[in-house]
Amino acid sequence: MIFLIRTILGLATLTALPVATAGPPSTFRAGFAEVDITPPKGTPRQGWNSKMVGECALDPLFVRAAVFEKGEGGPVAVIQLDVALIGAADTAAIRRRVETSHGIPGRRVMVAATHNHAGPAMINEAMPRDEGWINRMIQSCSDAVGKALVAREGAEMAVGIAFEWDVAYNRRILMRDGTVKTHGTFTDPAALGFEGPIDPEVGVIAFRGRDGTIKGAIVNFACHPTHHGGDPTFSAGYPGMIARELKEKGIPITLFLQGAAGNIAYDDPRGGPTKSKETIGQILADDAMKAISKPAWTVPASVSAASKDVRVRYRDVTEEEIGGRSRGTQRFGEPGYYERKIPPLVAMIREKGEDTAEVQVIRLGDVALAAQPSESFVEHGLRIKQETWPTRTFVVCYANGMLGYLPHEAAFARGGYECTFGPPSLMAPDTGRRLADAVINLLNGR
């Protein structure tokens, strides 16, 4: 009963606000849409470095899209997928489809994954991905953008934040010998402390029509969604539960944009109980409602998009790193996974030497979405937020490509899973800093 009352009150808060009528009509328009992309039974899964297929879906997976425009620059689009990652090639394919079908230039389209660990394979992780499903997913992204364009209407937006300390934890535990254990616990007598911080900010951007009705929202938070990662099931994880909870509270479509969560997880190293995806979804949905409980509805002065390509180097790996013998080495996965993956990975990085990474910024007035194609550590995300203030920047990782883990440079000396050479960790130690530099410069006009 308490939950029902809270839900009703939340809905009343959102829909009963007065609509500003002073001043000239707004040219800012926003539209939202979603398309079901739940994979069929038997589709290869991703997220556990193991051979798995999904035998059933516990809840639906979606692609969600939002489009915004003001003035003559044309619309920008944000696409959110309930999957683990989105590679550069698939990003390019989605952008081409959107540009061909709807006329939005590719560099004005942000494609972001929630990093859901109970979704279909987006890469050939432990078994080949389903290219038929991938092609349908690409078309669904374009369809969602098309529906969002049709749904566009004059709009206002409200920005709010809340702070949540009881969901996310830094998953890297510093040990007394100076190494780090990823997913370490303080039941281990050799544990010393958390290696680093979390980002407790729950960022929310809500959008309403000129009639006062909420049309959609964006929620930004940093924490790995790994529920059901080892199960032969499909689920959207806690990001899907946030969208479901907020729909019940009067926000019909919510895009969850994952933050800099490379070293952040919901398992409590202190020994506290592990929260279910439903519990986390409810907590963060409640936080989102609090963030916009007293909103100042405004029209953004402008809508814009900018991006920059950065040349980044692969790691110079030693034989000890290749063989898993370097200090602090920590590997997760089924037997034989690294033996299969590392030889072709070493050959690739030694042949190519470097790669290209795109950083992207979408601005809605004084608010910015800053995309990073990586599993960046939280330290990089916090730095971006700090050094771009007074712009309110929400960092969006797992977007427009995937370079793997980008730890902060000091972490490499301590090891741990994210710093151990292998398929998820192959970039030079300065890569995360350099991508953060690039997006900071974009936002600060340098």
pLDDT above 50 (res 345): yes
22 pLDDT band, cuts 50/70/90, is: very low
> Looking at the domain assignment, is residue 162 inside a domain?
yes
Question: Among 12-26, 128-142, 149-163, whose mean pLDDT is lowest?
Answer: 12-26
Handedness of CA 318, 319, 321, 326 (dihedral sign): negative
Say what the alpha-carbon torsion angle 86, 285, 194, 434 is, to the nearest 10 degrees.
40
pLDDT above 50 (res 25): no
Query: HSE on the CB side for 231, CA within 13 Å?
Result: 15
Helix (H) or strand (E) run with residue 139 in it: helix 131-150
> Looking at the domain assignment, is residue 184 inside a domain?
yes
Tens-digit pLDDT profile for residues 64-97: 999 999 988 899 999 999 999 999 999 999 999 9
Distance between CA atoms of residues 281 and 117, nearest Å: 15
**Cβ(120)–Cβ(38) below 8 Å:** no
DSSP per residue, 66-101: EEEE-GGG--EEEEEESSS---HHHHHHHHHHHHHH
Report which of 18, 255, 297 is spatially closest to residue 155, judged by C-alpha positions.
297
> Looking at the domain assignment, is residue 136 inside a domain?
yes
pLDDT above 60 (res 21): no
> What residues are paired with 305 via a beta bridge?
362
pLDDT at position 49 is: 82
> Looking at the domain assignment, is residue 352 inside a domain?
no
Domain ranges, residue 291 = 2-303
> Looking at the domain assignment, is residue 444 inside a domain?
no
How many domains does the chain divide into?
1
pLDDT above 60 (res 269): yes
**Cβ(173)–Cβ(180) below 8 Å:** yes
> What residues are paired with 217 via a beta bridge?
206, 254
pLDDT at position 15 is: 34
pTM of the model: 0.93
165 pLDDT band, cuts 50/70/90, is: very high
Tens-digit pLDDT profile for residues 284-307: 999 999 999 988 999 999 999 999
Question: Among 119-128, 301-310, 378-387, whose mean pLDDT is lowest?
Answer: 119-128
Side chain identity at 318, as an amino acid letter? T
Q: How far is CA 213 from CA 110, 138, 154, 157, 375, in A?
A: 25, 30, 11, 11, 35
pLDDT at position 425 is: 96
> Looking at the domain assignment, is residue 69 inside a domain?
yes
> Looking at the domain assignment, is residue 404 inside a domain?
no
pLDDT above 90 (res 353): yes
pLDDT at position 125 is: 80
> Looking at the domain assignment, is residue 187 inside a domain?
yes
Distance between CA atoms of residues 428 and 322, nearest Å: 15
Token pair 């007035």: residue: 365
pLDDT above 80 (res 17): no
